[in-house]
Amino acid sequence: MSKRTIDLLCRQKEAMSTKGKEFCLVNQKERERQINLFKLKLEEFLQNNRYEITNDVNIQNMLYILCRKMGVEPLTTEKSYFNIFFGSNAFYNELTVQIIEECYKSRESNGGIIEINKLCELINKKRKSIIRQNDIFKAINQAKCLGEGLKVVTIYQQSYVISVPFELADDQQVVLTLLNKKPYFLEDELLIIGWSKERVKGTLVWLLNIGMLWVDDQFPLDGKTTRAYWTSLYNLF
């Protein structure tokens, strides 16, 4: 193949690449134009048919599905057409499902309790719109009618979402605060604060049974200290 032919092929390849980029750019701009037009028409439709939409859940659901198919996030934290015109049940129902999914996937590593900022981070990786702590609170509060599967608790000034069916009593919260600075604690630390051995044992057994704590019989002891307990919650503080 001659040098002239090679140069010609290279120029053709560059020209095709340039045209391809121009075509993609035109398509992207056209898509953005169509989406903006869709948002404008959607707002007009909601304004003109507010009464019918407010009183017909089927229309609400169809609009929500249509928005998602168009690649438009119909509900966002700060402002949304759906929030403005007929509430945000669809948004929080969807968010509740995402909360349950992330809690379930991480349960093996955290025992069913996850720091709320970490949960937001996991969910936001899958969303086009950003959700915040307040959205988590609202979604869980709205889901209370479904039972006590989700709840928010505060441990050492940090908010956590619990997805396992139990009440975190005061004694369990005291134990978890011992993990604020390190990933483990010793039984001695509970005895020092004045707990009886029976109270210590009962609380630790309960936390062991639900998977929040793991006992470490291999921890290097000096013959005077008691056994150590570890938790995956350390990386959440």
pLDDT at 148 over 60: no
**Which one-letter amino acid corresponds to residue 165?**
P
Q: How does the average pLDDT of the chain come out, rounded?
A: 72
| pLDDT band for position 211 (cuts 50, 70, 90) | confident
Of 50 and 175, the structure prediction assigns the larger pLDDT to 175
- 91-162 and 170-236 have identical folds: yes
pLDDT of residue 78: 43
Domain assignments of the chain as residue spans, ordered by start: 3-86, 91-162, 170-236
pLDDT at 233 over 80: no
Q: Both tokens of residue 116?
A: 């709320």
pLDDT of residue 20: 60
pLDDT at 86 over 50: no
**Which one-letter amino acid corresponds to residue 21?**
K
Q: Which CATH architecture has domain 91-162?
A: Orthogonal Bundle (1.10)
| 216 three-state secondary structure | strand
Q: Which CATH architecture has domain 170-236?
A: Orthogonal Bundle (1.10)
pTM to 2 decimal places: 0.47
Burial of 224 (0-12, 13-18, 19+ CB in 10 A): exposed
CB–CB of 172/208 below 8 Å?
Answer: no
